[in-house]
Chains A and B, each alone.
Chain A
Amino acid sequence: MREILIVVPGPGDEAAELTAAARSLGEVRVTAAVFGADEEAAADLAGLCERVVVFPAAPGGVFDGEWAAAALTPWIAAEQPFLVLLAHGNDALDLAPLLAARTDRPMLSDCLEIGLRDGRLVGVRPLHGGKVRARVAAVEAAGYLATVRPGAYPAAAAAAAAGQVVEGPAPTGFSPRREFVGAVAAEAGEVDITQAEVLVAVGRGIEEEENLDLIRSLAEALGAEVACTRPIVDKGWLEKSRQVGTSGRTVKPKVYLAIGVSGSFQHLGGLKGSPFLAAINQDPAAPIFAAADVGIVGDLFDLVPLLEEKIRERRG
């Protein structure tokens, strides 16, 4: 039976999805590696998989790629799991390729699907912001590593039979070259978009800062708050507290209207609670349409003023 190691922050969606991804490969034995989990968390994880290895938390008690790589490398060398799986998120960028290099394994990144062919790892991954997909295959190796896109696999249900929980060793001879100093408090910002029921999200399609007035005015007509994608924040056009996504806020509105947003998974990763998602984008191939409930393919500069007008008309 193939041994698969999932590296997770604790119980939750990520662990359940990775377990599902692992089990999609057939008869496997899943081990979850976790750092500094308490008993309850370990027990929850044990409901998902055959074994839980609790490694000591990194100094500072936070996730630390250096520490994790130092702890996992000897463990992987000893146990030789067939596959190491991580969720493709920010922490994975900090750890996964480093671990792949240290353990000398082929790595597939950001997979929508993983599979096996002739005993080798294959996968499907998106390119060009989701506009095209690639079927990729790892060359033959003793073991593999892959990161899986969050949401690509539906979460596995916890099984009744609890797996075993064991302690993992602290990395030996670890001299930290990287030290945690502190978490940076997120700026509060003028509005709290996480509380909004209706959000109008604007993306790079808006082209220029001055054009944001179109969106503000539409949001006002709707009684909504303005949210945005990361590039809008990077340019300094809107404050960080309005950014939705994996490196921004997680929001759970009832209605989400995305305008000139391509629909990257990092952006949609911040959208929870399955809102009614409407999109306006001029590119019929934009990935946002795959996620949306309803869409208009067209130029936002024509559609947004018209939309505002119709909304105001309706309100009388």
Chain B
Amino acid sequence: MDFELTKAQKDIKKAAARFAKGEFDKELAMRLEREHAYPEEIWRKACAEGFVGLHFPEEYGGSGYGLFENALVVEEFCRRDSGIGAALLTAHFASELILHNGTEEQKRRYLPKVTGGECVSAGAFTEPMHGSDITQMATTAVRDGDEWVINGVKTFITNGGHCGFYVVLAQTDPEARHRGQSTFIVDADTPGIEVASVGEKMGLKMIPTGEVTFKKVRVPADALLGEENKGFYQVLRFFDESRIEVAAQAVGTAQGAFDRAIEHIKGREQFGLKIAKFQAIQHKLAEMATQLELARLIVYKAAWLADRKKPDTKLSAMAKYYAGRVASEVASESIQLFGGYGYITEFEVERFYRDARITEIYEGTREIQKNIIAGQVLGRLR
């Protein structure tokens, strides 16, 4: 047992904090959010410095680090800015499916683009009628000679319309439910793809989220990722890992809101005293600090296990469930500590709150995480 970060981990954490301090900018974040514009330049620089996909092997432009190190970076980025942090975190979304299931050729073709800042990636699982329950997809992929033909609608797709390629979950055997699903890599410029807006979002406003329609989209046979009809299982395994990253996003976002709140209460005076001197405020703070610490610990443990080739579905779900809850609560209480100012965009905590809320929704809602945890605890019930 050792709770100390390694030297390299400390260096990474510091490098990420320094990069975020140097590049992220409150005014810029507010403008990007207002204009729904992607933090293009920062993303490019983050790729150049090796922050995006640092957990990919070196041959694909990564640095061969693990989820743990990635979680440290995500945490530091989101702490500085919940929106820009999330944009950088999701820049490689679903690329891990290629890393884990792709052929050498697929990996070499796609992963360096993502780490090198050529394009961002997207994962298309959710459909209008299939959200929490993805055991049956309406999107189908049908073999036609040397090609697959994909038809269907995917919704809430992060980086939809902005990415270089999609990893798409489709039904290849419509009768076999989750045993008949496969994943495909679909280049974003393939004919037949249309992207529409999902409407104005509560948070993550810098990141495009699209409804992506696949109309007779033809992809070559080698666009199939891994084994046919194993897609569902690939995605579950992917979620075991990606949930840890979302949980790290949650911890960073919570910490960022908390930092700002602390600074505020140390300066703000009411009734002739700094409000930090009131015990009711101090107790609130103590609870927030404790929640944060617990959330961080569970995220670190889940990441640590995953990096030791012992990914733990239950722990990943716990990490995302708990850290997501903490993010929402801590960010919300941070607004409270700011009083009226907390309700004003300028003071950032409301944005952190809006960005925090997604961590309880995407990649499995809070309820779904609890289902997973309970399922793992109970085992098969007779």
Give chain A's interface residues, CB within 8 Å of chain B.
207-208, 210-211, 282, 299
Q: State in angstroms the CA–CA spacing of A167 and B267 once bound together.
A: 61
Q: How far does the alpha carbon of A208 sit from the alpha carbon of B30 in the complex, in Å?
A: 13
Residue of B nearest to A301 (CB): B346
Is B26 close to A, CB under 8 A? yes
Are B25 and A208 neighbours in the complex by a CB distance under 8 Å? yes
B202 within 8 A of A: no
Interface size class of B (residues with CB under 8 A): under 10
B267 pairs with A299, CB closer than 8 A: yes
Nearest CB to that of A298 among chain B residues?
A: B267
Residues of B within 8 A of A (CB): 25-28, 267
Contacts of A282 in B (CB 8 A): 267
The residue on A at minimum CB distance from B24 is: A208
Contact A211 B267 (CB under 8 A): no
Q: Report A214 CB to chain B, min CB distance, Å.
A: 10
Q: A207-B26, A208-B25, A208-B26 are in contact. List 5 more A-B contacts (CB 8 A).
A: A208-B27, A208-B28, A210-B27, A210-B28, A211-B27
Residues of A close to B25: CB separation below 8 A: 207-208, 210
Compute how far the CA of A159 lies from the CA of B267 in the bound complex, rounded to whole angstroms: 53
| Nearest-Cβ distance from residue B344 to partner chain A, whole angstroms | 11
Q: How far is the CA of A211 from the CA of B267 in the complex (A)?
A: 22
**What residues of B have a CB within 8 angstroms of the CB of A210 in the complex?**
25, 27-28
Contacts of B28 in A (CB 8 A): 208, 210
A–B Cβ pairs within 8 angstroms, 6 of them: A208-B25, A208-B26, A210-B25, A210-B27, A210-B28, A299-B267
Q: With both chains docked as a complex, state the minimum distance between the C-beta of B116 and any C-beta of chain A, in angstroms.
A: 27
A residues in contact with B27, CB < 8 Å: 208, 210-211
CB distance from B261 to the nearest CB of A (A): 15
Nearest CB in chain B to that of A213: its residue:
B27
Q: Which 8 A-B pairs have the closest CB atoms?
A: A210-B27, A208-B25, A208-B27, A211-B27, A210-B25, A210-B28, A208-B26, A282-B267
Which residue of chain A is the closest to B31 with respect to CB atoms? A210
> In the complex the two chains form, what is the Cα distance from A127 to B28 in whole Å?
35
The docked-state distance in angstroms from the alpha carbon of A282 to that of B266 is: 12
Instruction: Closest A residue to B28 by CB, please name it.
Output: A210
Per the bound structure, the CA–CA distance linking A208 and B23 in Å amounts to 10
Complex interface: chain B residues within 8 A of A207 (CB) = 25-26
A154 to chain B, nearest CB (A): 37
In the complex, what distance in Å separates the CA atom of A210 from the CA atom of B27? 7
Cα of A221 to Cα of B267 in the assembled complex, Å: 28
Residues of chain A with a CB closer than 8 A to B267's CB:
282, 299
> A276 vs B267: C-alpha distance in the bound complex, in angstroms?
27
A208: chain B residues within 8 A (beta carbon): 25-28
In angstroms, how far is the closest chain A Cβ from the Cβ of B198? Answer: 30
A299-B264 Cα distance, complex, nearest whole Å: 11
Nearest A residue to B346, CB-CB:
A301
Question: Which residue of chain A has its CB nearest to the CB of B264?
Answer: A299
Bound form: Cα–Cα A208–B25 in Å: 7
**B84, chain A: closest CB distance, angstroms:** 13
Of chain A, the residue at the smallest CB distance from B26 is A208
A210 to B26, CA, bound (A): 10
